Structure 1
């Protein structure tokens, strides 16, 4: 195995109370791809900050190979010192780095470079921060939730970009498919200890469950031994007391061992309080349109949603997913067309920005509405502390302000508020934001058992595949189409995934911010012209070979489609049918990636030739 270029050894850290890290270790070799997984609050982000040199551990050793470059992506990047996104990204380049790459990455991530950093949304700031850490092509990339606030096109582009990088990767993410496609090893951070699995995330959950199962068995054996020793202590012969002091000491040691064991954090208990049964028809939209000014967000859209349907809504940021959701629930009136809601609807909504949470509330007030200490769940009264425990909040947090909660804790609080109310229609706008993998599993199971109807906006492809029965996707220009099945089924039927919205590039590079001490009205010197860039050998080779590769993929897809056209294939050989579907999905994704790469290079070639 290659020697590590970054190593953390025997890391200990305590912020007060229970230790956060107890002997945690991390080793990263050249080109290695690791994912760090664990419950919210287990210390994943802290471990990454220690690896980046931003936090000093109480004890332990950090080693970085001399000359190795490390770039760290924070969950909440700070761009306040820079006037524009391009200035922010260029400031991360080292001497000798390709200056064109800053603008190229911003464009690929849907930014122009002219955006003022003071006016950026959370998603735009995340895209600029990604461009900044990717631009220098460092030896090690430490990425904390890189897919947060990104839409599907940006997530899929980032996947392709990271697959092609030579940098070693350490990833924290709650996006299963993202981790499955990128990771080669997993670090499980649990109760302060880091365990390593030398296999990708696809193998992680079964490995973790085996470990927890063995721990539970060991704990059961320890409990039985304690019971036997305690029985001996109560009923043993007193004459033997003197020569059995060693056995007494062993019993005390066992009791101490049992007290000091840190058990795995309990699971969130998710159950929706279901209301009365709704009518068979839930929502019917006929030729619905909605626009703002000259922009048409929804154009001539029709659909019919019935009781029990689980409908996903997907599209790039800015396509109008939330607008469509509000039209379908009657919260927003259409400019033309008709939306008819079914009878006896009781619906509960979860908004993606958590705007309904007042940061000055305590957790008790947020769950009870400020009325007493009980919550009505499914028609029954329950003490608020007991209900909080179902969502992994501790009793001491009952009087804590909402503003002090982490993103994951706010997500769980929103779920707790929403699921306490009786409903037969759940309207979920980005419910998976900031939730850990175990909570996502339980949310998925709850939705599978829910007898009502679900409208879901999400960028999580795996979650969509596990939950929805149909997908409404943005086709651009305000047009939306419904496809049967999950996200992967939609990609197969449509022949492509969700495309990014086109970005209007600025006519000229923005004027730089005035330097400190520069006189008012003083002329700003023009930037020195850069040497004319040429296509690299790798780019020229890709331009020459990609057309043949794309033709090969199209031929492969045509053969697979012909195979799937056989109506008896599934009945004859279900395994062959599933294998063909997966192969078609993979070939379609590879073709889309190759087409994007070829188009990017062709545009670059034309730009350089014209220049």
Structure 2
């Protein structure tokens, strides 16, 4: 017999102002649950999480928690006031009987000593301390709101491993697709105030959501046709039998009311960049550049060329010097040795993850217009600021809202709107994905795909890197940076390990054998392809095509919104087969890329 739920929310509703934020939400958390809570920015995910944690009261609904159940909640912006050290903050969240050595273990695992002053922590350090407080008591339920924000790749991968091994039930809110896919077994979708649940992890959610929207659109067209038919009857129909006609007219009014009161999906983000005239073919050329602060070498002898249209990703652990490297490449900071040459007709736009350009006292309109009027120039055309804000999901009422009251996701969307309104042919984006919802990430990805200029992207989002960049520049420690072809997954396949593995094994010999790579300064000697590898290279395209066809068929099956209710076994089999096929496709593509690189290096 299944264990009873630890926590249940039933028919929860909450209204802010005049618009209902949550109308009919349900949430059930059982022992060992692994659930992701997904939805648009502003849909009420964090509010529902706070209600589940007992920190907010709904207007209506029931919250029931089994007696003796312990809950720990990770907020997006923890309050450190009143604590002298990071360790004191973590220990304050522990119950009597908890082993306090675990607090030190978690802090040390996250790269902290515990003696840090909470008032002076950076965003990433603050997130690590808050995570340690949530994890330390080993609670029955963990409610984590954007746990990967401001974390570097080693910390994200460490957190994945820690959560996979915990006995606690998990409810996760995150924009990191790979993180959600690795940890979730069920998905709760909060959409227009209502929750819908699927007993599958995040990897199947987007196909299910799109199928639901398609079915909803078909129903909307049916309702429109029915209204049109009734209106046609009203104008031209027979007037006999007055009572029947009155009833039919009443039905028409009911249909119109149903159409008016129907809550549609929140508007889609519409992104377009203001591109400047094309830059020269050569955008950046670094020759043997080095930079050090005292004994610490940030960059050592790096040579790199960035050509027009390149998409370069920069990854590394916090403190590796990513921001310093970007400043060197863009001419903001002079190197200690070597030279950096910038191309001609270069117009650069920097999106700063610290959001330093946003003044808390400014209104949303003032951020976009600089306080001059109500128009903004985008792509050479003047647009009213409210119309432009609607493209980024802001309401007209928010145009005069101070920046200080915006959520993290809203601030990031505003910063992206500001950056894209300024003509540029070189975009430098430093952690642009923080606090964005998945749909906005999709639109940002599409915009960058269509962008004709050059992109330098600093990110810890592995999935976003895979989707956007053409090469990845990775910190190898001691000022050494190496460029790998492809996205993050391609880099791991070529390198043989991720950023976390490298950071965890710094004591190993630098001279150990490594797989073929493309270095920014030089190319190592590679072996020639053997007969078996040549045959594999010839047959891989056909295998990739076959897998792509199978994936398309499986997605078509899963696109049926009624499949799960009608035939759960078939749905689960198709979902598992889809994951297996996608994994096989990724492995085949990685292998093909590695063999092509070997062949190209030797001219075979």
Structures share fold, TM-score greater than 0.5: yes
Aligned to 2:16, what secondary structure does the other structure show?
coil
Aligned to 1:367, what secondary structure does the other structure show?
helix
Q: 1:429 to 1:444 in 2, by over 3 A?
A: same
Aligned to 2:304: 303
Take 1:162 and 1:490, find their aligned partners in 2: how far apart are those partners?
A: 25
Q: CA deviation at 1:394?
A: 1.0
- The one-character-per-residue Cα deviations of 1:6-60 (angstroms, maximum 9, x if unpaired) are 1101101111111111110001111010000000010001111111111111111
**Alignment equivalent of 1:582, drawn from 583, 587, 594:** 587
Q: CA deviation at 1:480?
A: 1.2
Aligned to 1:188, what secondary structure does the other structure show?
strand
Aligned to 2:401: 400
Q: CA deviation at 1:490?
A: 0.9
Aligned to 2:558: none
Take 1:66 and 1:439, find their aligned partners in 2: how far apart are those partners?
A: 40
Aligned to 1:568: 535
Contact 1:32/1:168 (<8 A) preserved:
yes
Contact 1:70/1:141 (<8 A) preserved:
yes
Aligned to 1:536: none
Aligned residues: 529
- The one-character-per-residue Cα deviations of 1:395-417 (angstroms, maximum 9, x if unpaired) are 11111112221111111111111
Take 2:540 and 2:239, find their aligned partners in 1: how far apart are those partners?
A: 73
Q: CA deviation at 1:239?
A: 4.3
Contact 1:153/1:499 (<8 A) preserved:
yes
Take 1:376 and 1:79, find their aligned partners in 2: how far apart are those partners?
A: 41
Aligned to 1:68: 69
Aligned to 2:534, what secondary structure does the other structure show?
coil
Q: CA deviation at 1:92?
A: 2.1
Aligned to 1:530: none
Aligned to 1:170: 171
Aligned to 1:36, what secondary structure does the other structure show?
strand
Take 1:376 and 1:565, find their aligned partners in 2: how far apart are those partners?
A: 58
Take 1:311 and 1:483, find their aligned partners in 2: how far apart are those partners?
A: 10
- The one-character-per-residue Cα deviations of 1:127-171 (angstroms, maximum 9, x if unpaired) are 111111111111111101100111100000000000111111000
Take 2:587 and 2:502, find their aligned partners in 1: how far apart are those partners?
A: 27
Take 1:499 and 1:433, find their aligned partners in 2: how far apart are those partners?
A: 20
Take 2:388 and 2:532, find their aligned partners in 1: how far apart are those partners?
A: 51
Take 1:193 and 1:120, find their aligned partners in 2: how far apart are those partners?
A: 37
Q: CA deviation at 1:581?
A: 6.2
Aligned to 2:235: 234
RMSD of the TM alignment (CA)?
2.2
Take 1:581 and 1:217, find their aligned partners in 2: how far apart are those partners?
A: 34
Take 2:244 and 2:369, find their aligned partners in 1: how far apart are those partners?
A: 60
Aligned to 1:83: 84
**In the TM superposition, what are the counterparts of 1:523-602 in structure 2 within 5 Å?**
566-574=533-541, 579=584, 582=587
**In the TM superposition, what are the counterparts of 1:182-201 in structure 2 within 5 Å?**
182-201=183-202
Take 1:583 and 1:138, find their aligned partners in 2: how far apart are those partners?
A: 41
Contact 1:491/1:585 (<8 A) preserved:
no
Q: CA deviation at 1:585?
A: 8.9
- The one-character-per-residue Cα deviations of 1:461-480 (angstroms, maximum 9, x if unpaired) are 00000000111111112221
Contact 2:157/2:500 (<8 A) preserved:
no
Aligned to 1:499, what secondary structure does the other structure show?
helix
Aligned to 2:490: 489
Aligned to 2:526: none
Take 1:564 and 1:247, find their aligned partners in 2: how far apart are those partners?
A: 78
Aligned to 2:36, what secondary structure does the other structure show?
strand
Contact 1:277/1:344 (<8 A) preserved:
yes
- The one-character-per-residue Cα deviations of 1:67-97 (angstroms, maximum 9, x if unpaired) are 2211111111112222111122122222332
Q: CA deviation at 1:295?
A: 2.5
Q: 1:247 to 1:350 in 2, by over 3 A?
A: same
Take 2:126 and 2:370, find their aligned partners in 1: how far apart are those partners?
A: 34
Aligned to 1:133: 134
Aligned to 2:499, what secondary structure does the other structure show?
coil
Q: 1:95 to 1:575 in 2, by over 3 A?
A: farther
Q: 1:482 to 1:502 in 2, by over 3 A?
A: closer
1:32 aligns with 2:37: no
Take 2:439 and 2:303, find their aligned partners in 1: how far apart are those partners?
A: 36
Q: 1:375 to 1:565 in 2, by over 3 A?
A: farther
Q: 1:564 to 1:47 in 2, by over 3 A?
A: farther
Contact 1:492/1:584 (<8 A) preserved:
no
Take 1:138 and 1:408, find their aligned partners in 2: how far apart are those partners?
A: 28
Contact 2:239/2:245 (<8 A) preserved:
no
Q: 1:117 to 1:575 in 2, by over 3 A?
A: farther
Which sections of structure 1, spanning at least 5 residues, go unmatched? 504-553, 555-561, 587-611
Query: TM-score scaled by structure 1?
Result: 0.83
Contact 1:110/1:501 (<8 A) preserved:
no
Aligned to 1:14, what secondary structure does the other structure show?
strand
Q: CA deviation at 1:576?
A: 5.9
Aligned to 2:447, what secondary structure does the other structure show?
helix
Aligned to 1:156: 157
Of stretches 487-496 and 40-49 in structure 1, the one that deviates more from structure 2 is 487-496
1:447 aligns with 2:451: no
Take 2:118 and 2:84, find their aligned partners in 1: how far apart are those partners?
A: 6
Aligned to 2:388: 387
Of stretches 83-92 and 575-584 in structure 1, the one that deviates more from structure 2 is 575-584
Aligned to 1:42: 43
Which sections of structure 2, spanning at least 5 residues, go unmatched? 505-514, 516-528, 545-582, 592-604
- The one-character-per-residue Cα deviations of 1:560-598 (angstroms, maximum 9, x if unpaired) are xx9998133142134767739639999xxxxxxxxxxxx
Q: CA deviation at 1:377?
A: 1.0
1:255 aligns with 2:256: yes
Contact 1:5/1:30 (<8 A) preserved:
yes
Aligned to 1:335: 336
- The one-character-per-residue Cα deviations of 1:332-357 (angstroms, maximum 9, x if unpaired) are 11111100111111221111111111
Contact 1:154/1:500 (<8 A) preserved:
no
Aligned to 2:524: none
Contact 2:175/2:437 (<8 A) preserved:
yes
Take 1:387 and 1:93, find their aligned partners in 2: how far apart are those partners?
A: 47
1:367 aligns with 2:375: no
Q: CA deviation at 1:218?
A: 0.6
Aligned to 2:286: 285
Aligned to 1:12: 13
- The one-character-per-residue Cα deviations of 1:213-243 (angstroms, maximum 9, x if unpaired) are 1111111111111111112222234444443
Of stretches 271-280 and 427-436 in structure 1, the one that deviates more from structure 2 is 271-280
Aligned to 1:473, what secondary structure does the other structure show?
strand
Take 1:387 and 1:44, find their aligned partners in 2: how far apart are those partners?
A: 26
